[in-house]
Amino acid sequence: MSNEKNIRIVRGVSKFAGSVNKDITLKPLLTSDERTLIQGDRNLVLNLSDQFDFERDYCTTYRMYGKLDILYNNIISGETSNSNFLGNMYFTPAHLGCPDPVAYPSNPSAGPPCVGMPTAMAFDFIPTKIYGDSAAASTYSVLSAYTDNWVVYISYISDSNPDEPMRFYTEYDTPSYMDFIASDGIPFTVEVVIDNSGRETMRFTTPVPHGVSPGEYIELQSTPTVGGPPSTANLMTDISLTYTTPGGTFTTQQNLFKVDSLGNEFANTDEYVINVNTVGLDATSIVTNPVGTLKRIINPNNTIESKSNYYSHTHKLITTPNDYTLDRTGFEVGVYNKKGRVFKSKKTPLNFPGTTTILEEYKSYTWVCTLDIDVDGYYDNLNRPLTDLYLTVFPTNRNLMWNYQAAGSPAGYGWDWNFRKIGMIDPFVDNDTNPSNVIQSNNSGVSPLPNSGSTYRGAFVEYNGLELEERIISELGYSLKFNKDVMYEVGTGSGPAGPEFVKSIYKYRPHNRIPIRKLSRSIRTNDALFTAPQYSVYSLADNTFRWRPILPIEFYDDNTNGVSYPYLNNAHYPHHNLEFIVEPILHNYTAQTINVISTFIDDCE
Amino acid sequence: MTANKIHMKVSLDEKQVTIPLGQSFDEIGREQLIETWEEVELQDNINFIQDYETTRYTHYNPYDDYKIHYKFLFFSAGSYYDDFNILGYKDYELARTRQSFKNSFFKFDFYDSPVKSEQKLMFTSVMPANNCRKEQKLISFSEDPVEYWSQMANLPPIPTPMPMYGVYVPDAILSPEQGKNENYYIQWLKNRDLFTGTSFYMSCKFYNAKDGKVIRMVTQAPINPGTGAIVPGPYSYEDWFFYQVILKIDSGNAPPKYRYTVHPFSSLNIMSGVVSNQTGTMVGDEIMFYEYIAT
């Protein structure tokens, strides 16, 4: 046995010549960490379910796939003489078409130039031919047609940009605006009202959801700048308040206010309207045409942690244009009927044969990312493991449908307040002055196509350090303006300035979120970093490390907060159906542009 | 101060107390090693995860819009013809895609080796006969009098009316285009861990639903170049039955990423280790299959 070794203990001097005695202390402890290996103890019971969960949790490879349903309203019309475009155009009025002026000399609408809309192929994911500008250099290839209009990527949020420049227009007729950067917070306008209780109230209205709750605080910012004609917009920063107390009258400059209530007299306005009851507003406290930005503060005694940070996301592409396949679904078509018309040759211009033009068709496509995405090496802007991947869609414009010439990009960009449907087109989204960084330098379309590793701006976001949570304030939108070589504003072709751009534009969302994991609704704390995840945040107020744990797959901590998808072949298969919406932003047309029927007054009144 | 009250009861059986001396052996490290060993043994015993994910491989042919060209010739009376009539089909059956023709198909078998004694069938694909091209052909009055006279009645008398219709010929041009892509793509593993080979050897058979016969095809016309006489089989497997199909995953940005090419193959390729030039890329350079002539 183990104690049978012949061990002899001798004094130091007895060991070898010159050796001395040493005091040796031995503390016989009554504890031992030795454990005998017993054969039966090492038996393991295999549990298929546990083993599956173990392998699935260990796996970090994702194979993305899903369905793309395109939804649009092909409603923006224009005028054109472009020969290739005319051959594919949907003429209006459809019953007249665009007849030959020789055959119909008395018809004032005989063309060209012809008026109408582009074919449905302009929005399609796989067009069937070159349908756009005659000057397009691209030739049609069946294999690469899936990148003629759009190109699809998988991206993730790699960084954030608090210095992202933004502009908020308060007036379009005589343009008046406020320039600010993302870290300035959420734009607002303000007015003073008397509420139902007769109290003086500052009413802040934001163009995007403000995310503030009653009892929390807002802080007005002084860094934005206003632009436009004098006194059309004025920055609201510190507000002068005068208090009269038994001790005297005091005037203070205040930029921090407690929120008393939300909403106004209209329904569903809580997310956009903040009410602050005040006392002692000076006559000049509220400037004319006030505008500004605000930040949310949960606890004014702990502003370091509880004041929200505002920034824009930065997306980095993971895949290349060659890393996905796109095909028509076998049996599915969109919810709306296909709309089209046969234009016989007498309804087409001279030398144009009769044609069948599809105006709207809502096709479905299946997309499969052929690149296995190992998220192990990726971290998001907050140094957390990835919880979202994004399906990023860019225009490629090989048919030159969209304006790109002035600034070298087929798309502009903006956030929700830049795409308000009020009958005016926000100048900020004009890609001539504010292009996206999808680059098109010639008539071959976007070439080369963006590659993996490229970065693009994304949503406008609030992050609150106390809540350890991001909130999307506004998704990024891309604007598409017609190339006037293809289609220009009706009636401007023979004008002194030449053809003008079609004023109305299209808008779509380039980055579409695909959740792959979810963060818990609850926050965990720990005193030591080595037992907390690397993305935990040290709280000065609590002296603890805090974080939101990542939920296991198929674990829901409420009805919606969780993910579930198949796991096989040592990979996760998240499925995402994207409704890809291209919506028109119309000039001189608003939701309110309807014929209001005069109030009926009967004879008794 | 807290104190533990320990009662020691006298036992008549126990005559000694064992007091363990503290030990500093690395029991924890050993325990971890055992746990790791347990995990390895566990994985070895239940399975190791195998990736069966497949994807589609596209024919690489940028010279002709990525199309692939096949041509099939059938034997009759000492010669080869690219005509389904030889197999018993009438023109009207081919023009109207009768069930007997619609149910006929070409079957392509892909092996891992051209050597018969070593090869394993890896996968198979099927191309329906009606994937073939149609060609305009004069209508035979005796074969299809109804169609003949129907067209004659509607054609102008001058020039001389020539009633025609489209008839399938054993010649297929497949492409990624919808409706023309059946049997165009090859579905195969993305990950090469399970099967590391990149070359497959493709043979072809025609399944004739008209008479239920299966016709084996060879890759060369079995004609003696000196005499012009048919050289009947049997033929060497390596030299007569296979095209080499090479699957490649391209790392560039130009589509297709997953691609395949087809090459003529013979035992010379085995000996020299050289791959023949790609074929099937255009009209005049089709992937040719000839009916096998049994002795």
> What is the pTM for the complete model shown?
0.86
In a domain, A21, yes or no: no
Q: What is the pLDDT of residue A31?
A: 63
Supply the pLDDT for residue A32: 59
Residue A202: the pLDDT is 93
Residue A333's pLDDT band, with cuts at 50, 70 and 90, is confident
- Chain A residues with CB inside 8 Å of B252's CB? 322
Quick check: B22 and A28 CB within 8 A? yes
Residue A370, token pair as written in the block: 């052929």
Chain B contact set for A35 (CB, 8 A) = 27, 31
CA distance to A146, A295, B63, B67, per residue, from A141 (Å): 9, 51, 11, 11
Give me the number of domains chain A comprises: 1
- Residues A550-566 have pLDDT tens digits of 999 999 998 899 999 99
Cβ separation A34–B25 shorter than 8 A: yes
* Calpha distance A257→A276 (Å, rounded): 7
Residue B33 Cα, gap to closest chain A Cα (Å):
13
Q: Which chain B residues touch A63 with a CB distance below 8 Å?
A: 53
Q: Strands, E, within A465-596: which ranges?
A: 469-474, 477-480, 505-508, 511-515, 524-526, 537-539, 544-547, 567-568, 571-572, 575-585
Interface membership of B255 toward A (CB under 8 Å) = yes
Cβ contact A32–B22 (<8 Å): yes
Tokens of B76: 């009759």
Q: Can you give the pLDDT of all 295 residues of chain B as single tens digits?
A: 556 676 666 666 666 666 655 555 555 567 788 888 887 887 777 777 889 999 999 999 999 999 999 999 999 888 899 999 999 999 999 999 999 999 999 999 999 999 989 999 999 999 999 999 999 999 988 888 999 888 888 887 777 778 899 999 999 999 998 888 999 999 999 988 899 999 999 999 999 999 999 999 999 988 877 777 878 777 888 999 999 999 999 988 788 999 999 999 999 999 999 999 999 999 999 999 999 987 6
Cα gap A176→A167, rounded to integer Å: 10
**Side-chain half-sphere exposure of A197, counting CA atoms within 13 A:** 8
Whether B252 and A322 lie within 8 Å, measured CB to CB: yes
Tens of pLDDT, residues A442-475: 999 999 999 999 999 999 999 999 999 999 999 9
Contact residues for A135 (Cβ-Cβ < 8 A; gap 6+):
A400, A443, A485
Chain B residues whose CB is inside 8 A of the A451 CB are 253
* Record: contact B252-A46, CB cut-off 8 A: no
More confident call, B129 vs A54 = B129
A44-58, A467-481, A503-517, A523-537, range with the lowest pLDDT: A44-58
Write out pLDDT tens, residues A200-231.
Answer: 899 999 999 999 999 999 999 999 999 887 66
Chain B residue at shortest CA distance from A452: B253
Identify the pLDDT of residue A228: 81
Q: Is A295 a domain residue?
A: yes
Is A451 near chain B, with CB under 8 Å? yes
B6 close to A (CB below 8 A):
no
User: Using CA atoms, how far apart are residues A548 and A550, in angstroms rounded to an integer?
Assistant: 7
CA distances from residue A114 to A165, A234, A483, A498, A503 in whole angstroms, order as listed: 40, 46, 16, 16, 17
Strand partners, A309: A463
Most confidently modeled range among A52-66, A323-337, A584-598, B17-31: A52-66
Residue of A nearest to B59 (CA): A143
Report if residue A505 sits inside a domain. Answer: no
Mutate to test the interface with A, among B25, B53, B190 (most CBs of A within 10 A): B53
Q: What is the mean predicted confidence (pLDDT) over A6-15?
A: 72
What is the model's pLDDT at position B12? Answer: 66
- What string of DSSP letters covers A353-377? --EEEEEE--EEEEEEE-S-EEGGG
Residues 6+ apart with CB under 8 A from A226: A176, A177, A178, A179, A233, A234, A235, A291
Percent of chain A beyond pLDDT 70? 92
User: B19 and A28: CB-CB below 8 Å?
Assistant: yes
Task: Note the pLDDT of residue B2.
Answer: 55
pLDDT of residue A323 exceeding 60: yes
Contacts of A43 in chain B (CB under 8 A): none
Of B25, B55, B175, the CB nearest to A142: B175
**Residue A38: which pLDDT band, with cuts at 50, 70 and 90?**
low
- In this prediction, residue B88 carries a pLDDT of 92
B257 neighbourhood in chain A, CB within 8 Å = 322-323, 370
- Give A 15-34 residues with CB within 8 A of chain B: 27-34
The 10 Å CB-count burial string (b at 16+, else e) for A37-52 is eeeeeeeeeeeeeeee
Average pLDDT of chain A is: 89
> How much is the pLDDT for A597?
41
pLDDT at B295: 63
- Taking every pair of Cα atoms in chain A, the longest distance, rounded to a whole number of angstroms, is 134
B265 closest CA partner among B118, B127, B110, B124: B110
Is residue A75, in this structure, part of any structural domain at all?
no
User: Mean pLDDT across the stretch A151-156?
Assistant: 97
**Which residue is listed with tokens 């005659």?**
A134
Residues 6 or more apart whose Cβ sits within 8 Å of residue A189: A170, A204, A205, A290, A291
Asked if residue A565 is part of any domain, the answer here is no
Contacts of B120 (CB under 8 A, 6+ apart): B111, B112, B113
Mutate to test the interface with A, among B190, B251, B260 (most CBs of A within 10 A): B190
Can you give the residue range of the structural domain that contains A247? Answer: 186-304
Ranked by mean pLDDT, the top range of A153-162, A238-247, A342-351 is A153-162
What percentage of chain A carries pLDDT values higher than 90? Answer: 69
Q: Which residue has the higher pLDDT, A498 or B278?
A: B278
- Rounded-to-integer distance, Cα B166 and Cα B151, Å: 13
A595: confidence class by pLDDT, cuts 50, 70, 90? very low
Of A34, A143, A570, the CB nearest to B49: A570
The confidence score (pLDDT) of residue A233 equals 81
Mean pLDDT across A169-181:
92
Which run of H or of E encompasses A245?
A: strand A239-245
pLDDT of residue B207: 97
Q: Which residues of A touch B178 (CB under 8 A)?
A: 328
Residue A197 is assigned to a structural domain of this protein: yes
Least confident of A67-71, A92-96, A462-466, B134-138: A92-96
